Amino acid sequence: MIDSRNVINYEFEQHTQTAPLFRVADRYAEIVVVRLADILVTEFVGPCGKSLVQKYTKKLEQVVRQFNSKPWAYLSVSRNFDALTDEAVTALVESFAFCTRHGCVADAYIINSPVGKHQVAAIRKQFSVARAFDDVLFTQFDDAFEFLSLELARIAIEYN
């Protein structure tokens, strides 16, 4: 098990400053999820395998159901994420599909790993997402969070 006090990046903790909704980990990787208003913020750390992603997906589905299909957004702050195994990619595709069916209307990413970026872009490409991956890839938390907040506000105006 990874000691998350040493791994979870400073920026993530500084901006979220709230107790995680949940955390799943194995010897090599960890995933942490917090909620900031109507934005779920996740951090993937390390190389993520199928078992870990399946645990994450199961817990994430419980959290997503709490939105009751109300619009929400997803932000991945994963500077220390390496990559997914092929089996984990398949599991994450299922998670992405569940989220889009249950109210996720916008997503944004902070990922340094070239392999991780490629994998996430490929997952998103399987769905009819409105924006290209490069348009939702950020380097700063504040920029990504503001983008998602504005997207949620725009969507709220359109539906009211």
**What tens digit of pLDDT does each residue of 66-89 get?**
999 899 999 999 989 999 999 999
- Dihedrals φ, ψ of 138, to 5°? -125, 165
Indicate the SS3 state at residue 146. helix
DSSP H/E element including 51: helix 50-65
Give the alpha-carbon dihedral of 95, 50, 56, 115, to 10 degrees: -70
**What tens digit of pLDDT does each residue of 25-73 get?**
999 999 999 999 999 999 999 999 999 999 999 999 999 999 998 999 9
In sequence order, what are the residues at sequence separation of 6 or more whose Cβ sits closer than 8 angstroms to the Cβ of residue 115? 82, 83
Instruction: Enter the DSSP assignment of 139.
Output: S
Would you kindly state where each structural domain of the chain is located, as residue ranges? Answer: 4-159
Q: Which two tokens stand for residue 10?
A: 């400073």
Q: Which two tokens stand for residue 132?
A: 């290209």
**Would you state the pLDDT for residue 83?**
93
**Would you state the pLDDT for residue 104?**
95
**What tens digit of pLDDT does each residue of 92-149 get?**
999 999 999 999 999 999 999 999 999 999 999 998 788 999 999 999 999 999 999 9
In sequence order, what are the residues at sequence separation of 6 or more whose Cβ sits closer than 8 angstroms to the Cβ of residue 55? 24
CATH topology of domain 4-159: Transcription Regulator spoIIAA (3.30.750)
